[in-house]
Chain A
Amino acid sequence: MSISDRSNPPLPAPGEETASAAALQRDRDLLARWRDGDVEAGTTLLDHYSGFVRKVALRAGVRAGADFEEFWQDLVLRLLQQLPDLTGRLRTSFAGYLGWQVRDQLRSWRRRERRSGIVTEHVVVVHHDEPGDRMAFWEALRACAAGLPPREQAVFEHRFLGGLDLTEVAARVDSNANAVAQAVFRLVRRLRDCLLTKGFDGPGDLL
């Protein structure tokens, strides 16, 4: 069984793989230094992704301010506990692993909220608080996502921005986990190809 369209997969654009590989190596290096006791390296690594975690958590219903800060601290503690084995569990990117942890933590958070009688509707909310040049990226991404088939659009929103895991996404799009996973790989390629045409071809430097 093959995954998505394997016939003549497009070659990466010049420099594309280099930029991505460099970002992954940067994250691995920071992670290794953090594991060896370099607190600054760990802080830098997590600081780079705090904005995205915030974006996903707020979209999932975590309240901004003290609630999100508590969510963030719980996430950091979770990563600290996993730190000794973390490097070995990085398969694609630290961002991807972090995304999985966020989705898992959001699932526990939602369960806790339900037990407390708090019902949070999953609302897709767009937060326009990114600095100027990043706003251009999100606009480009929105335009690219609008060009996806409806189901892939929904999968993209729910999984990458909504903090839902495969099973939850499958329930929302009335499908199964395997089909959703296939859609994930397919839409990733389409979105990256689209973003490349709009001039977004790198993972971005650490601030």
Chain B
Amino acid sequence: MNCPAPEHLLAYAEGAALPDVATHVATCANCRKQLAELGAFETLLASQAVAPAAERERLRSATWRLLQGGPARSTAPVRRFPVWPALGVAALAAAVLAALTLWPAAHGLTNLGVHSYPVEGGLRAEAGLRFAMTLRVADPRWVAIWELGAGTGKRLLPDASAPLPTYGVTFPLPAGDHRIPAAELLDFDVAPNTAPQQLLVIATPEPLRADQLAAIDALVGKGDQAAFWPQLSQQFPEARLLAFPSR
């Protein structure tokens, strides 16, 4: 029996998708023993470090808040966008801030912007682009977002199927400037060559009900702006259409 190279067995141990290694491990007692010894040692080692009590409690509280779907950070400074060194801008050539709105700004929702950037690699390397939005609200607001393409429309937020349906954002947003999603790690993914053409943002003083969300989903699902916009803009004064920045 030819066992995999140690490098591949270790990668498999760490969670890499290696079907050939998985097939081999299922039938090789020695490889399974190697993995079991590694796992036991890792668990033993990781169990023997304890953070100072006060810090541990802060970490636990932060974990609890995050798992509850709360804000990403409560006491640490809110991280906005990455700081791009001047010479690093070239490496992030597709990062364009588009503060373009198609309709006059109303009182409640202003300063809409989209920040998109290429994915650098790592575990989410399959995504072509990522993006986040910025906006300002004058009063507490709930926000829902849809991405619109040629003949398509899909709701981004809230997304009941996502681990964090509101992408780390706590609603209602208090008055002020905000970033959606709440942290860079949660930014929306865009598969290569499928960037949306526009984003539909609707801000409301009360959360949209499930039936309202479903109705809007159906209305924008075909991506026909001429058909849905008059009705939506009349029903929701703080609805905005935002052009997605082109690369």
Contact = CB atoms under 8 A, between A and B. Distances in A.
A117 B85 contact: yes
B43 A95 contact: yes
A91 B15 contact: yes
Contacts of A50: 51, 56, 59-60, 63
A158 B156 CA distance: 41
A17 B11 CA distance: 23
A108 B12 CA distance: 21
A1 B215 CA distance: 61
B62 A184 contact: no
Contacts of A192: 37, 40-41, 44
Nearest to B77: A66
B191 interface: no
Interface of A: 1-4, 6, 9, 16-17, 19-20, 23-24, 27, 34, 39, 42-43, 46-52, 54-55, 66, 69-70, 72-74, 76-78, 80-81, 83-84, 89-100, 104, 107-108, 112, 115-117, 129-131, 134, 137-138, 141, 160, 166, 177-182, 184-185, 188-189, 191-192, 195, 200, 202-204, 207
A74 B168 CA distance: 11
B42 interface: yes
A200 B34 CA distance: 19
Nearest to B25: A91
Contact of B40 (A94, A137, A185, A203): A203
A145 to B, nearest CB: 11
Contacts of A2: 3, 30
B36 A17 contact: yes
A69 B59 CA distance: 7
B173 interface: no
A43 B61 CA distance: 9
Contacts of A160: 42, 45
A75 B149 CA distance: 33
Contacts of A191: 41
B162 to A, nearest CB: 8
Contacts of B55: 54, 69
A174 to B, nearest CB: 16
Given A16-B40, A69-B58, A131-B50, A76 B79 contact: no
B5 A1 contact: yes
B60 A70 contact: no
The residue in A34, A47, A78, A93 that gathers the most chain B C-beta atoms within 10 A of its C-beta is: A93
21 contacts: A9-B33, A43-B67, A48-B47, A50-B59, A51-B50, A51-B51, A73-B62, A73-B66, A76-B62, A80-B66, A80-B67, A81-B163, A91-B35, A96-B42, A98-B46, A100-B14, A116-B83, A141-B45, A184-B6, A191-B41, A192-B40
Interface string B1-24: 011011101111111000000000
Contacts of A49: 46-47
A77 B186 contact: yes
A181 B9 contact: yes
B42 A93 contact: yes
B44 A70 contact: no
The residue in B36, B58, B67, B77 that gathers the most chain A C-beta atoms within 10 A of its C-beta is: B67
B42 A92 contact: yes
A91 B49 contact: no
B160 interface: no
A83 B69 CA distance: 14
Contacts of A141: 45, 48
Contact of B31 (A3, A90, A138): A3
Contacts of B2: 1
The 9 closest A-B pairs by CB, nearest first: A92-B39, A20-B40, A204-B47, A181-B6, A93-B39, A95-B46, A89-B15, A100-B14, A51-B49
A47 B6 contact: no
B44 A200 contact: yes
Given A2-B30, A91-B13, A116-B85, A52 B48 contact: yes
A177 B7 CA distance: 6
